[in-house]
A and B are shown apart, each in its own frame.
Chain A
């Protein structure tokens, strides 16, 4: 990397949060220089993407397509949250739907029972999410790998069982209907978010906040510590990284994003029931960063577009969706374990 002339730096994936090793050779390759003009780090590329996102409701013809696009946004928030734990910290979490459920139920209960404003329920939901994240993060300090997978699986299942059986709080399988639409404004001027374009802009805002938060935290000391833990936990501990603190932080951060998505889901659907937060939901969320590339933010976003948008295109095959997803997970791990846009992990590059 040429430090004297920083303008010449070519960053192919700034958002990836990885190292820029090997750039010296790339600099002299004209093709890569050309590609660098369209890299995500260029301000005009970012502006184009934002503008492109803003005009989507104007060009999309049907409400149905709009609905699918809103779901893609929702899953981008969920998958980016999970990506923090799975992709950057390297901890398996097969219970992400639990945080999603916590956010959705917090918003639903506070809005329906206590008439709270949607905007206030978001921070409350996120705080509850963080508490659950810490609760789940705690066992991770003791267990690793496949044990961790089982613990998170069990945790997700416990949250589902509680949501299904605690009639007094969640009304069990009957769910909570009639969640009001969010409002902006004061007593005499009110804007109600109840149309598809309005919901689209709301989720777009959440997606941008999530991407920004992820990029910033990944490029910080915290992100470096997470990646060090992912590459080798023991070495990271020896280097002075506080495993307890950073692992809990990863789970808390991930859970807060999961809860944010849940809050949106509650008002968008205006109905929550335990069936939206089954183990299959967690699996769908997991497959997104796996497809896009664990530890890659652009990859995860593309993964969400493919995984959520894809099955809608082939609606006739919806019955086979889960079968294909399972087969896909196996094949992906055999053929390209780092995902479409992911980088090889240290552990994969160098066999120990």
Chain B
């Protein structure tokens, strides 16, 4: 029972990690929370479902198209809700992005309907049995996809020239600009990568639960944000660890306390972390909690 619970928790945690990376990358660069990220996650799943069922296109192609559309959507969010407010007080930006999130959520509700839609992907592979723990193939698929993407992202940020530009921008945008880095391009790229990963997380989430609805982005987004904060916001590895930890916490809380309060449990963790260790597990003190007056 315990191990069964663990398998579910870890694969869900990997999903949170993937989504958390989007939050943490954007936060690292522009020091603002992308409230609309949960909606990108939802749109990723919905675009894929829509292409899959509406045009009867096979899942892998539909997923790729869904990811591409969501990436464009993420870039659009940056263009509309962030860029005109680059120098505005943070207060204004938060409200603007919150508005964007509400807009996308309700647009999805109008376009695709408010009810749950079935998202069915059959891999046609039997579940794996280890001892008496049943591991469905989709769980392995989710975990493997998440881990591969996270590793790839880690390498990309660490090894490539563009990754270096991203790290430089995160460290000090003004100095980076003086070194000849195109800040706007880096920000757009960050939103694009974050949105693509968020869309993948949305699709994997839909595979996991077999159902999607326009409001799924809200709770998942809040939890992924919790994961990002838990690991130390701005830190990509922190987001990975935070996501998996949150998945395990939630699994234990739901399994041994009460599954009705599963969501309340995650938010409780968030509030406690913010009060007692706002820099998170891997964050540096003063870096993530600093109030940036220039924004």
Contact = CB atoms under 8 A, between A and B. Distances in A.
Interface stretch (B85-93, B129-137, B205-213): B85-93
Which of A92, A143, A323 counts the most chain B CB atoms within 10 A? A323
8 contacts: A92-B91, A146-B32, A147-B33, A147-B229, A283-B98, A290-B95, A329-B100, A352-B294
A337 B99 CA distance: 13
A102 to B, nearest CB: 16
A144 interface: yes
Given A92-B94, A144-B291, A161-B264, A328 B99 contact: yes
A28 interface: no
**A-B residue pairs, 8 tightest by C-beta:** A329-B99, A326-B103, A326-B102, A154-B267, A333-B96, A322-B106, A337-B92, A330-B99
A153 interface: yes
A117 interface: no
Given A150-B270, A323-B110, A329-B102, A165 B261 contact: yes
A290 B96 CA distance: 11
B104 A157 contact: no
A143 B274 contact: yes
A21 interface: no
A283 B291 CA distance: 25
Interface string B233-272: 0000000000000000000000000001101100110110
A237 B85 CA distance: 28
Contacts of A326: 99-106
Contacts of B261: 161-162, 165
Interface residues of A, number: 47
Interface string A310-331: 0000000001101101111110
A62 interface: no
Given A142-B274, A149-B33, A334-B85, A158 B106 contact: no
B268 A145 contact: no
Contacts of B99: 325-330, 332-333
B98 A161 contact: no
Q: Chain B: interface secondary structure?
A: helix
B148 interface: no
Interface in A119-158: 138-139, 142-147, 149-151, 153-155, 157-158
Contacts of A322: 102, 105-106, 109
A214 interface: no
Interface residues of B, number: 49
A282 B13 CA distance: 29
A143 B95 CA distance: 17
Contacts of B100: 326, 329-330
Interface stretch (A219-227, A260-268, A343-351): A343-351
Contact of B98 (A142, A329, A347): A329
Contact of B263 (A155, A161, A280): A161
Contacts of A297: none
Nearest to A346: B89
A339 B81 CA distance: 17
Contacts of A255: none
Nearest to B97: A330
B107 interface: yes
Interface string A258-298: 00000000000000000000011001001000100000000
Contact of B95 (A139, A286, A327, A351): A286
Interface in A8-56: none
B213 to A, nearest CB: 14
A90 interface: yes
B271 A154 contact: yes
A165 B270 contact: no
B192 interface: no
A173 B294 CA distance: 46
B104 to A, nearest CB: 7
Nearest to B31: A146
A138 B272 CA distance: 11
B225 interface: yes
A323 B39 CA distance: 13
A335 B33 CA distance: 21
Contacts of A147: 33, 229, 274, 278
Contact of A145 (B84, B91, B226, B264): B91
A151 B270 contact: yes
B94 A327 contact: no
Nearest to B267: A154
A323 B93 CA distance: 18
Given A147-B274, A333-B85, 8 more contacts: A94-B98, A139-B275, A142-B275, A143-B275, A154-B270, A319-B110, A333-B99, A348-B89
B41 interface: no
